[in-house]
Amino acid sequence: MSPHHYDIIVVGAGLVGAAFALCMARIFTDKHSAGNSEASKPSKIALLEARTIAAPTNLSPDTFDSQVVAVTEASRQWLDTLNVWQSCEPRVCPYKRMIVRDAEGTGCIEFDAAEVQRANLGHIVENSVLRASLLSAVAEQDNIDLYNPMAVESLRRDGETITVNLPDGQQLSSSLVVAADGANSPIREQMGFELRTWGYEHTAITATIKTEKSHGFTAQQWFTPSGPLAFLPLRSSAQESPADAHYVSIVWSQTPERAKELMALDEVEFCRELTITSEGALGTIESASERVQFPLTQRHGVDYVQSGIALIGDAAHTIHPLAGQGVNLGFGDARVLAEELARTLEQSGELGGLQVLKRYQRRRKPDNLAMMATMEGFKRLFERDELPVRLLRNIGMSGLNRLAPLKNSLIRQAMGLD
């Protein structure tokens, strides 16, 4: 049986793979309706996902997915053009302010959306809510075939065609395979992409908590020598008022030893530790979910592309979650790769051509590397416990807090707008 041919095969329907497949499907649809649609066959995409995609559950006002992402304004705008943002909105929490503190001193920086004439600095959304919205949009595209559950078993290159072997014996072929198969990308591994890895020596603990005081639509972060603690505000109902918003998602990155101790604590002791580290900023804390832990590793593909293959999202790079940029970098990859492929389609070029894919790599690598270097710098700066470093850090943070132009530029960069 000859392989089923697709214009693009996307492996992995996580946030990045699903968004990329959707974006490309819309580009194909637009091109098809702009051309002689009678004469040409519409281009098709295969989207393969290994894990069974569960039907969306109706999350209740006080039950949250313990994995959330902070979506930058640039990513939000892009998701909005894909028409997936609106359906997330009842569960999306905008944050208008962000407070970053040095828990070892008095250093503090406050960012306010009003300082850059914006309504919000960003939005917190549960991964499952955003993914459900993406997949329901994918289901409406008749030029995407979703294979689920279906794990790619192996890949074979025959000249300019890549053949994908599936466990049920089916074969799919394409001139372009986009690997959005996550941090441990099997495609990256099989195709021999070289990877630089760097253990952060941190484990992130995520959980949902209920706080005595309202979070006031503010994201907060405390840096300690053993790692940062982030409080990310959640929205439990669309009508929630700023005075009555008490659910917060935490990302507490700690050394593996400390994370192990924290995971072993009972709920009361864990919440007490959280209250101490957060300096009681939101009053007494109650646990509202189980804790989940993730070992953190920095990974970066030396190349993101080979002829006929492109890595995007966590398959190409993973980064410390301390500034909430991981999926935003992945959405940046997806958007730029789609732009380059759209340009190639205009010129009737070959989608999997190395030159085309290299343009994607050239545009994305500097941004991804710069963000990774900044996160590494932040992490190292706050790990230092010596008194002179702590003093300088506190003076620096307080000084920066008074420097409006520099601060505004930082806010715009974090929003993905510069």
Residue numbers of the site for ligand FAD (CB under 6 A)? 11-17, 48-51, 69-70, 151-152, 180-183, 186, 204, 206, 251, 294, 313-314, 321, 324-328, 330
Nearest-approach distance from CB 224 to ligand FAD, in angstroms: 17
Nearest-approach distance from CB 343 to ligand FAD, in angstroms: 23
Q: Could you tell me the end-to-end alpha-carbon distance of the chain, in angstroms, rounded to an integer? A: 50
CA nearest 44: which of 150, 213, 233, 174? Answer: 174
Contact predicate 356/301, CB 8 Å: no
Contact predicate 176/6, CB 8 Å: no
Nearest-approach distance from CB 277 to ligand FAD, in angstroms: 17
Nearest-approach distance from CB 392 to ligand FAD, in angstroms: 28
Q: Which residue has the CB atom at the shortest distance from ligand FAD?
A: 14
Dihedral sign, Cα of residue 273, residue 279, residue 282, residue 284: positive
Select 4 or 32, whichever has its Cβ closest to ligand FAD.
Answer: 4
Nearest-approach distance from CB 74 to ligand FAD, in angstroms: 11
Nearest-approach distance from CB 33 to ligand FAD, in angstroms: 29
Nearest-approach distance from CB 173 to ligand FAD, in angstroms: 16
Select 227 or 326, whichever has its Cβ closest to ligand FAD.
Answer: 326
Contact predicate 78/415, CB 8 Å: no
Q: Where are the beta strands (DSSP E) in 212-262?
A: 218-224, 227-233, 247-254
Select 87 or 165, whichever has its Cβ closest to ligand FAD.
Answer: 165
Select 218 or 393, whichever has its Cβ closest to ligand FAD.
Answer: 218
Select 69 or 262, whichever has its Cβ closest to ligand FAD.
Answer: 69
Contact predicate 249/234, CB 8 Å: yes
Select 16 or 351, whichever has its Cβ closest to ligand FAD.
Answer: 16
Select 329 or 393, whichever has its Cβ closest to ligand FAD.
Answer: 329
- The burial class, CB within 10 Å (0-12 / 13-18 / 19+), for 326 is buried
Q: If DSSP codes are grouped into helix, strand and coil, which group holds residue 145?
A: strand
- What is the Cα 173 distance to its own chain's centre? 29
Q: At residue 106, what is the residue type?
A: T
- What is the Cα 60 distance to its own chain's centre? 24
Instruction: Give CA–CA dist 34/28, Å, rounded.
Output: 10
Instruction: Give CA–CA dist 26/166, Å, rounded.
Output: 26
Please count the other Cβ atoms lying within 10 Å of the Cβ belonging to residue 383.
16
Nearest-approach distance from CB 17 to ligand FAD, in angstroms: 5
CA nearest 398: which of 116, 98, 110, 103? Answer: 110
Select 250 or 393, whichever has its Cβ closest to ligand FAD.
Answer: 250
Select 16 or 103, whichever has its Cβ closest to ligand FAD.
Answer: 16
Nearest-approach distance from CB 150 to ligand FAD, in angstroms: 6
Contact predicate 398/407, CB 8 Å: no
Nearest-approach distance from CB 383 to ligand FAD, in angstroms: 18
Please count the other Cβ atoms lying within 10 Å of the Cβ belonging to residue 309.
25
- Using N-to-C axis directions, what is the helix angle for 127-139 and 15-34, rounded to 10°? 30
Nearest-approach distance from CB 193 to ligand FAD, in angstroms: 14
Contact predicate 326/314, CB 8 Å: yes
- For residue 358, the surrounding DSSP H or E stretch is helix 354-383
Select 123 or 390, whichever has its Cβ closest to ligand FAD.
Answer: 123
- What is the Cα 404 distance to its own chain's centre? 29
Select 172 or 356, whichever has its Cβ closest to ligand FAD.
Answer: 172
